[in-house]
Amino acid sequence: MWNGKNKAITFSFDDGVQQDKKCVEILNKYGLKATFNLNSAKFGLKFPYTMPSDGRIIERTIINPDEVAPLYKGHELGVHTLTHANLLELPDSCIVWQVEEDRKTLERLGGKPVKVMAYPCGYVNDHVVEVLKNKTQIKMARTVVSTYNFDLQDDLLNFNPTILMKEYDKMVELAKEFLALKTEKPQLFYIWGHTYEFDMEDINYEKFEEFCKLIANKDDIFYGTNGEVIK
Give per-residue pLDDT as tens, 26-38: 999 999 999 999 9
Q: Does residue 2 lie within any of the structural domains? A: no
State the total domains in the chain: 1
Instruction: Give the confidence band of 54 by pLDDT, cuts at 50, 70, 90.
Output: confident
Where do the H-state alpha helices sit in the chain?
Answer: 20-29, 68-71, 92-110, 126-135, 168-180, 205-215, 226-229
Q: What is the pLDDT confidence band of residue 163, given thresholds at 50, 70 and 90?
A: very high
pLDDT at 200: 82
- pLDDT above 90 for 148: yes
Tell whether 196 is covered by a domain: yes
Nearest residue to 139 via CA among 120, 159, 116, 121? 116
Strand partners, 125: none
**Cα 95–chain centre separation:** 20
Confidence class for position 201, pLDDT limits 50, 70, 90: confident
In which domain, by residue range, is 41 found?
A: 7-229
Q: How confident is the model over 146-162, as a mean pLDDT?
A: 97
Q: What phi-psi label fits residue 5: left (phi over 0), alpha (psi between -120 and 50 degrees) or beta?
A: beta
d(CA 168, CA 212): 12
pLDDT-derived band at 52 (thresholds 50, 70, 90) equals confident
pLDDT score, position 1: 85
**pLDDT of amino acid 88:** 97
Residue 203: band (very low, low, confident or very high) from pLDDT cuts 50, 70, 90: confident
Is 88 among the domain residues?
A: yes
Instruction: Report the distance separating Cα 71 and Cα 222, nearest Å.
Output: 22
128 in a structural domain: yes
Residue 177 CA to residue 80 CA, distance in Å, equals 31
pLDDT, residue 29, reads: 98
Band (pLDDT 50/70/90 cuts) for residue 202 is confident
pLDDT at 144: 98
* 8 A C-beta contact, residue 116 and residue 140: yes
pLDDT (0 to 100) of residue 192: 98
Compute how many other C-beta atoms are within 10 angstroms of the C-beta atom of residue 198: 22
> pLDDT at residue 50 above 90?
no
Q: Model's pTM, two decimal places?
A: 0.97
As a whole number of angstroms, the distance between CA 49 and CA 60 comes to 7
The mean pLDDT of 103-114, rounded to a whole number, is 98
Among 175, 197, 188, 180, smallest CA distance to 224 is for 188
Instruction: Name the amino acid, one letter, at 102.
Output: D
What's the mean per-residue pLDDT of the chain?
96
8 A C-beta contact, residue 103 and residue 82: no
> Looking at residue 77, which CATH number applies to its domain?
3.20.20.370
- Find the mean pLDDT for residues 199-217: 93
Cα dist. 9→26, 34, 90, 140 in Å?
15, 9, 33, 16
Is 115 within the bounds of a domain?
A: yes
Task: Please tell me the predicted confidence (pLDDT) of residue 53.
Answer: 73
Query: Is the residue at 58 inside a domain?
Result: yes
**pLDDT reported for residue 116:** 98
Tell me the pLDDT tens digit for each residue of 62-91: 999 999 999 999 999 999 999 999 999 999
In a domain, 85, yes or no: yes
**In this structure, is residue 1 part of a structural domain?**
no
With 90 as the cut, is the pLDDT of residue 51 above it?
no
